Structure 1
Amino acid sequence: MSLSGDVCLPHNMKWFLVILLVTLLGVTFVSGLDEPWCRCGLFVSSRYSEIMVYEMPEIPIVSCTEHDICRGMCRNELCEYTDDLNLWAMVGNETVGQYVCTGLYGNYYYFIHNRYVHAYYELCGGPWEYADLTSQQMLCCNRGEHEHCISK
């Protein structure tokens, strides 16, 4: 203790506390700048990975604790856009399945046979979580072309 009653800290400990304080203030400031967001996507499972084949535009939300709201909004948008994840529903001039097969082909997945498409959501940069929505039919793609699955 010093004569004034203050606690004396070693010189390197003072610098450590200053750096710690600045770091905490910086992290707090930067995290305060981020707007909460919700992302929705369609994925196909392969033997070794999950492949994102479509991503919807971000959905604005109020807080990063709104898992149920994010999941619900994702399900609603994907159901509306894909006719309840019907791979043979038309979106514009192509089927939902054709959009998926085109996305897979663009990522060097040339053949997909008897796979379901699953909906996932991501909240504020967290992990992708299953949105309780799976395609009505299995997906089969042959060199980027959506085809009916005729064998097991």
Structure 2
Amino acid sequence: MRITAFILATALAYAAAQDFPECECGMFITYYGEERLVHSLPPFSVDNCDATLVCKNLCAKEFNALTGSGDLNHVMGNGYTVGQELCLYALINQDLTELSQEKVYGYARQCKGPWDYDGVSTINELCCLNGRYFPCSEL
């Protein structure tokens, strides 16, 4: 009886630790020829790891919802503009203190695979100085 309970507990723990099919979404810039993540979006559960188009479509839809169709001046629910949120993320998570005229692109990845461009980008460019967003026209 104890052995059965131990085997069952071990099997349940193993199953809980397994990754389930997941679609991750992110916002990236190309910084000195290197793709850099400037914002992560909450992941989506998907049916399987072959649903690439579904994942890309989910991420593109989420990107457009968050950014008001790609506008860095769009005000989010927390009161920050999208640009301000991205500048803070870039400073805190990527140690990027200065960004100048960076287009932001939406990306998707399936089941921890490679990131793929999902077809959406911002309509304006990202400019940051020490975590503060400002219009690139002020350069």
Q: Same fold by TM-score, threshold 0.5 exceeded?
A: yes
**Contiguous gaps of at least 5 residues in structure 2:** 1-13
| Structure 1: distance between partners of 2:19 and 2:85 | 32
What letter corresponds to residue 128 of structure 2 in structure 1? Answer: C
Asked which structure has the greater CA Rg, the reply is: 1
1:113 to 2:100 alignment? yes
More displaced stretch, 40-49 vs 114-123: 40-49
- Percent identical residues: 26
Ranges of 4+ aligned residues in structure 1 off by more than 4 Å: none
What letter corresponds to residue 72 of structure 2 in structure 1? Answer: L
**Contiguous gaps of at least 5 residues in structure 1:** 1-28
| Structure 1: distance between partners of 2:60 and 2:88 | 22
Q: 1:81 maps to what in 2?
A: 66
Residue 131 (structure 1) shift: 0.6
What letter corresponds to residue 97 of structure 1 in structure 2? Answer: G
Q: 1:21 maps to what in 2?
A: none
Q: 2:87 maps to what in 1?
A: 101
Q: 1:147 maps to what in 2?
A: 134
Q: 1:132 maps to what in 2?
A: 119
Structure with the bigger RCO (C-alpha within 8 Å, sep 6+) is: 2
Residue 143 (structure 1) shift: 1.3
What letter corresponds to residue 48 of structure 2 in structure 1? Answer: S
| Structure 2: distance between partners of 1:75 and 1:40 | 8
Aligned length, in residue pairs: 122
Q: Structure 1 length as normaliser, TM-score?
A: 0.75
